[in-house]
Amino acid sequence: MLDFPSTLKEVLDTFKLCLSENKEVYLEHYVAGWRGLVKFLNCLGSVFGFISKDAVNKIKILVTHMEGENGSQYVTVQSMVKYELDNELVDLTKRGIHPESGCRTLLRLHRALRWLELFLERLRTSNEDGKTSVMCSESYNESLAQHHPWMVRKAAGMAFCVLPGRPAFFEVMNVGPPEQVVAMLGEALPLISDVYQITEEFYAQHNMLDLP
């Protein structure tokens, strides 16, 4: 389990550990990565509490599966999907008796990972006076927002407005001077993108990109 991460680099490195040799995604590291991200989110203020609460809740659901009696099936995203599908443990078309399946829960975090990728890429390529709130809402609109109802989109939009500016943001990351942050993001982003793509393709193959 991850202790309080001192830098965002440590958290993003966790996503590097996610990929197995044969390109499966380890749940343990995936969950650890999200735990670390949530800690950074909490540093940004209580306005983000409703987001962090939902993320923590989803992390908990996954951990419960991983530590449960069928935990050995929850080692990778791929093994989880196979297990839950084979045993009819997923609601495929409408909400039913499996509201906390690993598959639908992970899908929510997976969509959020796309937001993260887009947002960090914008941060990386922005200049000093770039507006984090704009970068954040553009990334959100291109990803997660498409899956959220109006109320959630509205609340998210309001929270984005109070994001600190780029310099303060870089400081919270605790990675060093801006050039170093930019370099670190440049190294970390391709790996996050790999994890995202591999999960996306696997979910697509199993027709699971719209799980209720």
Q: Figure out which of the listed residues 18, 25, 31, 55 binds ligand 1Q0, where binding follows CB under 6 A.
A: 55
The residue range among 42-50, 65-73, 179-187, 198-206 that interacts with ligand 1Q0, by the rule CB under 6 A, is 42-50
Q: Cβ distance 8 to 173 under 8 Å?
A: yes
Q: Kindly identify the residues of this chain, within the stretch 102-161, that bind ligand 1Q0 according to CB under 6 A.
A: 108, 112, 115, 136, 140, 144, 152, 156
Q: DSSP code of 71?
A: G
Q: Cβ distance 200 to 28 under 8 Å?
A: no
Report in angstroms the alpha-carbon separations of 40 from 29, 30, 158, 193: 17, 16, 19, 20
Q: Figure out which of the listed residues 10, 24, 28, 54 binds ligand 1Q0, where binding follows CB under 6 A.
A: 54
What one-letter code names the amino acid at 138? E
The residue range among 74-82, 167-175, 179-187, 201-209 that interacts with ligand 1Q0, by the rule CB under 6 A, is 167-175
Q: Which is nearer to ligand 1Q0, 22 or 127 (CB)?
A: 127
Q: Across the chain, how many H-helices and E-strands are there?
A: 9, 0
Q: Which is nearer to ligand 1Q0, 1 or 150 (CB)?
A: 150
Q: Kindly identify the residues of this chain, within the stretch 3-22, that bind ligand 1Q0 according to CB under 6 A.
A: 8
What one-letter code names the amino acid at 28? E
Other beta carbons within 10 Å of 210: 11
Q: Which is nearer to ligand 1Q0, 89 or 136 (CB)?
A: 136
* Angle between helix 8-17 and 27-43 (nearest 10): 160
Task: Please give the residue ranges that form the binding site for ligand 1Q0 (CB under 6 A).
Answer: 8, 37-38, 40-41, 44, 48, 50-51, 54-55, 108, 112, 115, 136, 140, 144, 152, 156, 169, 172-173
